[in-house]
Chains A and B, each alone.
Chain A
Amino acid sequence: GEDVEQSLFLSVREGDSSVINCTYTDSSSTYLYWYKQEPGAGLQLLTYIFSNMDMKQDQRLTVLLNKKDKHLSLRIADTQTGDSAIYFCAESPFGYKYIFGTGTRLKVLA
Chain B
Amino acid sequence: EAGVAQSPRYKIIEKRQSVAFWCNPISGHATLYWYQQILGQGPKLLIQFQNNGVVDDSQLPKDRFSAERLKGVDSTLKIQPAKLEDSAVYLCASSLRLAGASYEQYFGPGTRLTVT
The interface on chain B, measured as residues whose beta carbon lies within 8 A of the other chain's beta carbons, has a size of 27
Q: Which of A41, A45, A97, A101 contacts B45 (CB 8 A)?
A: A97
Main secondary structure of the interface of B (DSSP, over half): loop
The interface on chain A, measured as residues whose beta carbon lies within 8 A of the other chain's beta carbons, has a size of 23
Contacts of A66-110 to chain B: CB distance below 8 A: 88, 90, 92, 94-103
B107 — nearest CB in chain A belongs to which residue? A42
The answer to whether B48 and A97 touch across the interface, beta carbons within 8 angstroms, is yes
A40 — nearest CB in chain B belongs to which residue? B109
**Which A residues are in CB contact (< 8 Å) with B93?**
42-43
Most A Cβ at <10 Å: residue of B31, B100, B101, B105? B105
Given A42-B108, A44-B107; A4-B100 close (CB under 8 Å): no
The answer to whether A97 and B109 touch across the interface, beta carbons within 8 angstroms, is no
B72: interface (CB < 8 Å): no
A102 — nearest CB in chain B belongs to which residue? B42
**Which B residues are in CB contact (< 8 Å) with A99?**
45
The answer to whether B43 and A43 touch across the interface, beta carbons within 8 angstroms, is yes
Assembled-state Cα–Cα distance A54/B40 (Å): 30
Assembled-state Cα–Cα distance A48/B95 (Å): 15
Contacts of A54-72 to chain B: CB distance below 8 A: none
The answer to whether A45 and B104 touch across the interface, beta carbons within 8 angstroms, is yes
Per-position 1/0 for B81-105, Cβ under 8 A of A: 0000000000101000011111111
Per-position 1/0 for B12-52, Cβ under 8 A of A: 00000000000000000001010000001111110010000
The answer to whether A102 and B102 touch across the interface, beta carbons within 8 angstroms, is no
Given A4-B42, A97-B56, A103-B42; A31-B102 close (CB under 8 Å): yes
B91 — nearest CB in chain A belongs to which residue? A42
B73: interface (CB < 8 Å): no
B-binding residues in A (CB < 8 A): 4, 31, 40-45, 48, 50, 88, 90, 92, 94-103
The 5 lowest CB-CB distance pairs between A and B, nearest first, are A100-B42, A42-B107, A96-B99, A43-B107, A31-B102
